[in-house]
Structure 1
Amino acid sequence: MAWNTPGSDNSGDNRPSRQRKPPGRGLDSLLDTARGLFGNGGGGILRWVGLLVALWLVFNCFVLVTEQERGVVLRFGTFSRVLQPGPHFKLPWPIESVKKVNATQSKAYSENVPVLTRDGNMVNVEINVQYRIESPRLFLFGSREPEEVLKQAAQSAVREQIGRSDLDTVLGSRSVLTTQVRQRLQASLKDYETGLTVTELNLPNARPPDDVKDAFDEAQRANADKSTAINEAQAYAKKIVPEARGDAQRIRTTAEGYKTSTVARAQGDAARFTLLAEQYKGAPEATRKRLWLDAVQEVLSQNRKIVGGDSKQILYVPMGERSGGPMTPGPVSVPLNQPELLPSVTATESSSGSTVPYVGRPTRPKTRDEVSR
């Protein structure tokens, strides 16, 4: 082996010539190392295949499920188990395979559905449904196309519940209908084994079809007028019924008072008549005269003009007392200017005590009209 001498062209490189690497030999050295590991010929290819198979098995058996997903493991095409979020290992394909589904994502479905109400009115009802996957196993294997099943079940539930309600309920208070539709839809999804659950359901709008909108608005106005008339009638009834009851009570009270006073007056008259009958038995003449005087006094006290036998008019003029008390009538005689038409009638008693018979009224002179007749 020759060594470089000073002053040569190697610029001080004193290493042996076999230790120097020519440029571009680094990649070749790596390939040589790999060939040394696997050998040359057919044995080296098998080692490469084995390494690739090992790497494939490692990646195929390892499964990572995210937080939003659920993994459904199939063994020879049939359901085996459900993998929760996290790393997992399984048997290599084709023994086991994994299908991942998003179990936390909420999906929405909206559509306008024409529905016939119980009273025969057609309305377009808007449906808004939000749902998610509750059971990955049933979602994949429970029914075919579960989301399409949900759409059909939602429409069926809306038609069923609104078909049992009248138009006023559909247009007015839909909160009860919304609850009923949601319960019916959830029951249908469970019966059909869709693996879906309803998180929210709304019926935000209900309106008549455009073809009958004018007629529908007119009917609504008529219903509003009907409600107004009913409310006014009820208000009037609330006002007039208490007044009528008060009037009825007042009439009953007045009638009871009249009944009591009438009965008491009748009882008093009966008692008075009984006493008069007893007195009449003892002194009939005096009793009869006293009754006559009482009757005359009662009749004459009600008259303001009394004509006596002396052809004078007696007027009762109310005269008040000095103290300002109530006025009492006093008789005043006023001479008459007209000629006396009726003679005075007197009654005298005979010596025997009998009354002179009444000779009657003199004949009245006829007037000019009567003479012409």
Structure 2
Amino acid sequence: MYRQEEPEINIDKLIARLKSMFGFLGKDGDGKGKGIGPTFLFGALSVILLLWLATGIFTVQPGEQAALKLLGQYSSTKGTGLQWWWPSPIGARDVVRIDEVRTIEVGIRGDTPVLSESIMITGDTNIVDVQLLVQYDIKNLKNYLYKVVSPDGSTLKDAIESSLRQVVGSGPIDDVLTDKKEDVQMATKGKLQSILDKYEAGIRIREVKLLNVFAPEQVKDAFDDVVRAREDKERIVNLAEAYKEDILPKA
């Protein structure tokens, strides 16, 4: 996420420079100072005000939005183009790329498993190790920035874990180990989006993907045997069907 920082103005340095630029207005012909007069003060303050107002000009690039705050409170959201808003300390702005597809992993970080996140209990009281990847983007910048704390950190991760545990816990272990992974992904995506919408997190879930699903090591061999047996059964059925289609026409 990109946030555009507000430019800062050093007022003391600016006044010192203005004095050096306009100081001649406060002197007579022999170079003796008369002091700073109203004309100088008005001119200096006008320049300072204009320079301060100019710092409120900014550009929102394609794919970005700017959330604007006035006196610390959200005011509005601006889209692509040249924009102006009250500079600091009256106003503030957060310019964020909203079309960027972000990712978060649960149960794994890179190549390192995180068992505290990935170990789950299935509906038939088996234990399974599930590693998940979620892709998302921002659908409501105001909510994303100001409604919840850490929207794409702990809030999102906790919502993902909760959704996945509900789905995994509602069905048998075979659903996540073998033939119903797609159903698990879709159900998790739906529950996750529902939770985030309830939080008003401003996040849209684009994809939920099961990266790795393992039976625990102590029972892994037994589950692998089950999977191999199922694959062998399907292969035999396919061979039988092929044989049937080949023999019947000849008969």
What TM-score, normalized by structure 2, do the two folds share?
0.69
Structure 1 pair 219–51 and aligned structure 2 pair: CA distance change class (3 A) = closer
Residues 136-175 of structure 1: pairs in structure 2 closer than 5 A: 136-147=141-152, 148-173=154-179, 174-175=181-182
Which letter does structure 2 place at the counterpart of 1:96? G
Structure 1 pair 35–185 and aligned structure 2 pair: CA distance change class (3 A) = same
Which letter does structure 1 place at the counterpart of 2:92? S
Q: Distance in 2 between matches of 1:227 and 1:175?
A: 18
Structure 1 pair 119–87 and aligned structure 2 pair: CA distance change class (3 A) = same
SS at match of 1:165: coil
Structure 1 pair 33–117 and aligned structure 2 pair: CA distance change class (3 A) = closer
The answer to whether the 8 Å contact 2:178/2:227 transfers is no
Which letter does structure 2 place at the counterpart of 1:161? V
Tell me by how many angstroms 1:223 deviates.
Answer: 7.0
Tell me by how many angstroms 1:224 deviates.
Answer: 5.2
Residues 339-354 of structure 1: pairs in structure 2 closer than 5 A: none
Q: Is 1:77 equivalent to 2:72 in the alignment?
A: yes
Q: Is 1:193 equivalent to 2:200 in the alignment?
A: yes
Residues 333-344 of structure 1: pairs in structure 2 closer than 5 A: none
List per-residue Cα deviations over 1:165-220 (Å, max 9, x = no partner). Answer: 2122211120111111111111111011100111111012100223x1xx331354
Which of 117, 124, 127 is equivalent to 1:122? Answer: 127
The answer to whether the 8 Å contact 2:52/2:87 transfers is no
Q: Distance in 2 between matches of 1:149 and 1:225?
A: 41
List per-residue Cα deviations over 1:26-62 (Å, max 9, x = no partner). Answer: xxxxx999555x34331376233442332122223x2
Runs of 4+ in 1 over 3 A off after TM superposition: 31-36, 47-50, 91-95, 222-232
State the match for 1:203 in structure 2.
210
Q: Distance in 2 between matches of 1:63 and 1:227?
A: 60
Q: Distance in 2 between matches of 1:219 and 1:204?
A: 18
SS at match of 2:95: strand
Q: Distance in 2 between matches of 1:229 and 1:144?
A: 51
Q: Distance in 1 between matches of 2:48 and 2:63?
A: 32
State the match for 1:53 in structure 2.
49
Tell me by how many angstroms 1:229 deviates.
Answer: 8.4
State the match for 2:15 in structure 1.
none
SS at match of 1:146: coil
Residues 7-156 of structure 1: pairs in structure 2 closer than 5 A: 35-36=23-24, 38-40=25-27, 41-43=35-37, 46=41, 47-60=43-56, 62-112=57-107, 113-147=118-152, 148-156=154-162
Tell me by how many angstroms 1:93 deviates.
Answer: 3.9
State the match for 1:176 in structure 2.
183
Structure 1 pair 186–128 and aligned structure 2 pair: CA distance change class (3 A) = same
Tell me by how many angstroms 1:228 deviates.
Answer: 6.5
Q: 123-132 vs 70-79, which deviates more?
A: 70-79
Aligned-pair identity in percent equals 24
SS at match of 1:144: coil
Aligned pairs, how many?
199
SS at match of 1:205: strand
Q: Distance in 1 between matches of 2:203 and 2:150?
A: 11
Higher strand share: 2
Residues 258-277 of structure 1: pairs in structure 2 closer than 5 A: none
Structure 1 pair 222–172 and aligned structure 2 pair: CA distance change class (3 A) = closer
Q: Distance in 2 between matches of 1:199 and 1:98?
A: 27
SS at match of 2:55: helix
Which letter does structure 1 place at the counterpart of 2:147? G
Q: Distance in 1 between matches of 2:142 and 2:92?
A: 14
Unaligned runs of 5+ in 2: 1-18, 28-34, 108-117, 241-251
Which letter does structure 2 place at the counterpart of 1:194? A
Higher relative contact order (CA 8 A, sep 6+): 2
Q: Distance in 2 between matches of 1:126 and 1:205?
A: 5
SS at match of 1:203: strand
